[in-house]
Amino acid sequence: MRTVTLDQMSLAAGAGAGAHRSLIIGIFLAFVLVTLGITLWAGRRTSGTADFFAGGRSFTGFQNGLAISGDYMSAASFLGVTGTIALFGYDGFLYSIGFLVAWLVALLLVAEPLRNSGRFTMADVLAFRMRRRPVRTAAGISTIVVSIVYLLAQMVGAGSLVALLLGVSGGTAKQVIILGVGALMILYVTVGGMKGTTWVQIVKAALLMAGTALLTVLVLHRFGWNISTLLGAAGHAGGKGSAFLEPGLKYGATSVSKLDFLSLGVALVLGTAGLPHILVRFYTVPTAKAARHSVNWAIVIIGAFYLMTVVLGFGATALVGPKAIKASNPAGTTAVPMLAERLGGGAGSTGGAVLLSVISAVAFATILAVVAGLTLASSSSFAHDLYAQVIRKGRATEKQELRAARLAAFGIGAVSVVLSMFADKLNTAALVALAFAIAASANLPTILYSLFWKRFNTRGALCSIYGGLLTSVVLVVFSPVLSGKPTSLLPHADFAWFPLENPGLVSIPVGFLLGWAGTLLSRGEADQAAKYAELEVRSLTGAGAH
């Protein structure tokens, strides 16, 4: 998803919804009402911290698998990946693959040990055998930074997208929409806690899968259920000949862009298992076995989803055409809604209007659910790690911790609403990739070291979290994302010396190296072997698990 400026938006308003606005709003309001109902219902069943932070650990593997998928399949995937495929052909497929393969890291190395040894947040696992206050502070900060970057990406995208689909233009309309999205997500989180948020994710995942499957069936039906025919038609319409069906159209131009592609690939595959809103989901099931099943379900659902995005992307190229898509949005964000309209019978037809409205409403639901998950994860970390353990030194009552979480949800929600309003020129795709890169550089090394490396200690954890965080953020600040290019946030300034848009290729190894060096350059801690024995027994067997 690229930057959407105001004139592009008014341009798109004609091509987009217009007359069908009321239908879209109607379907969307129905979703909001249903989810608010669920939230109120869940809110009444939420009393303690285990309910609020972990949904009472009462979800089944399948339910949590759906909820994980709901948390993971963001608008950036549904609209961004399909749009990239629609405009750049094969290169968009690489996102789909990275987003899926990443789940093997979660399945093999993270989900079960984390479920077994932690309580509410990622920091719980670190706090086991290290000095608690410094590691909780570090983990809390990196959780909140990753979440806010990811939130910003979703909300900036939401503002542009909703404005685009509703056919409204102008800065005020967009700001009102961002404000509305922010208010709803705060409501979901503060009232419904993890229970409410999980059900919102489940409903959203079901809607998104149904909508995507419907469009996929319609596209495949058009092409006689023959992938080769579909690809042929897309290649023909793509206007780039067979290159459209081969890698390299977006990233193959120069040796720098090829490195950028490699960097993106590494960040995608290693980032997922470090994303805070994904990690907290493993705590909502009763056992490690259920956590394993939920990741398996997530792999099935997410895998099916990303296979379908390929059909939708190439279908949009073949049926709508890159010219029309680009005219509506230069990054291709509206490719899927336009495809839906075409499949329903084209602009002006009732079928087209209905299908466009349904798909647009699904896209809204997607954004809303993802931002709620992010707000919950970051406010949990604030309340449980920073407030209860660091500020109150473990002396906060459950009630105070819950109040802190609700206040934090307000605070984080407000901060991201304000940032999104002023940052609507930011490139959403870069922000999402940055969130993945920070998660992979700051969170993943620490999680893996602390689970599997006996010698790992506080110094190592701090070096790796702060080092990975700083490296990735600094490299982005001095990259073409911020300055030096016409597509940068500050196109007129040029202080970029780091050539890659995604810092992962450098910052992830730095995060791992710093954790290793910091550990070896400091002395061991008291009781280290015994504490590691406890963590290992717990993480492997589930003895003493919450």
Partner 1 sequence: MLNTSPPQGSSQADAPCDCRSAAECEADRLTRYQAVANGEAVTLLRRRYRRFAAWMTVLFLAVYLSYVLLSGYAHRLMAVRVVGTVNVAFVAGLLQFAMTFLIAWLYTRYAATRLDPVAERARAEFDDTQDHQAGARQGGRDPEGSTCAR
Per rule CB under 8 A, is residue 88 in the interface with partner 1? no
Per rule CB under 8 A, is residue 22 in the interface with partner 1? no
Per rule CB under 8 A, is residue 534 in the interface with partner 1? yes
> Nearer Cβ to partner 1, position 188 or 244?
244
321 sits in the region (left: phi over 0; alpha: psi -120 to 50; else beta) called: left
Q: How far is the CB of 59 from partner 1 (least distance, A)?
A: 19
> Nearer Cβ to partner 1, position 413 or 504?
504
Q: How far apart are CA 506 and CA 35, in angstroms?
A: 41
Given the rule CB under 8 A, which of 175-183, 239-247, 422-430, 501-509 is the region that contacts partner 1? 239-247
The pair of structure tokens assigned to 226 is: 């023959």
How many of the chain's residues bind partner 1 (CB under 8 A)? 77
Contacts 24+ apart (CB under 8 A), 399-406: 401/49, 402/48, 402/49, 402/52, 405/52, 405/53, 405/379, 405/380, 406/189, 406/190, 406/379
Q: How far is the CB of 481 from partner 1 (least distance, A)?
A: 20
> Nearer Cβ to partner 1, position 129 or 174?
129
> Nearer Cβ to partner 1, position 229 or 522?
229
Which residues between 421 and 480 bind partner 1 (CB under 8 A)?
A: 452
Q: How far apart are CA 448 and CA 485, in angstroms?
A: 37
> Nearer Cβ to partner 1, position 172 or 228?
228
> Nearer Cβ to partner 1, position 328 or 381?
381
Q: How far is the CB of 294 from partner 1 (least distance, A)?
A: 12
> Nearer Cβ to partner 1, position 116 or 198?
116
Which residues, in sequence order, are bridge partners of residue 490? Answer: 483
Q: How far apart are CA 374 and CA 371, in angstroms?
A: 5
Which residues between 285 and 304 bind partner 1 (CB under 8 A)?
A: 289, 292, 295-296, 299-300, 303
Question: Please, what is the end-to-end C-alpha distance for the chain in angstroms?
Answer: 40
CA distances from 221 to 215, 225, 233 (A): 10, 5, 14
Which residues between 123 and 162 bind partner 1 (CB under 8 A)?
A: 124, 127-128, 132
Per rule CB under 8 A, is residue 394 in the interface with partner 1? yes
Q: How far apart are CA 230 and CA 310, in angstroms?
A: 11
Given the rule CB under 8 A, which of 8-16, 224-232, 344-352, 371-379 is the region that contacts partner 1? 224-232
Q: How far is the CB of 249 from partner 1 (least distance, A)?
A: 11
Per rule CB under 8 A, is residue 44 in the interface with partner 1? no
Q: How far is the CB of 541 from partner 1 (least distance, A)?
A: 4
Name the residue among 146, 151, 150, 147 with its Cα closest to residue 438.
146
Q: Which of 67, 200, 202, 231 binds partner 1 (CB under 8 A)?
A: 231
CA angle 431, 490, 330 (to 5 degrees): 60
Q: How far is the CB of 534 from partner 1 (least distance, A)?
A: 4
Given the rule CB under 8 A, which of 161-169, 228-236, 493-501, 506-514 is the region that contacts partner 1? 228-236
Give exposure, 508-535, as e/b (b: 16+ Cβ within 10 Å). Answer: bebbbebbbebbeeeeeeeebeeebeeb
Q: Which of 28, 59, 306, 456 binds partner 1 (CB under 8 A)?
A: 306
Which secondary structure element, helix H or strand E, spans residue 205, and what is its range?
helix 171-222
Which residues between 99 and 118 bind partner 1 (CB under 8 A)?
A: 100-101, 103-105, 107-109
The pair of structure tokens assigned to 487 is: 């597509």
Q: How far is the CB of 391 from partner 1 (least distance, A)?
A: 13
Q: How far is the CB of 457 from partner 1 (least distance, A)?
A: 15
> Nearer Cβ to partner 1, position 407 or 470?
407
> Nearer Cβ to partner 1, position 372 or 408?
408
Which residues between 253 and 282 bind partner 1 (CB under 8 A)?
A: 258, 261-262, 265-266, 269
Which residues between 400 and 419 bind partner 1 (CB under 8 A)?
A: 400-401
Sign of CA dihedral 3, 9, 14, 20: positive
The pair phi, psi for residue 423, each rounded to 5°, is -115, 30
Q: What is the CA radius of gyration of the chain?
A: 23
Name the residue among 74, 541, 136 with its Cα closest to residue 271.
74
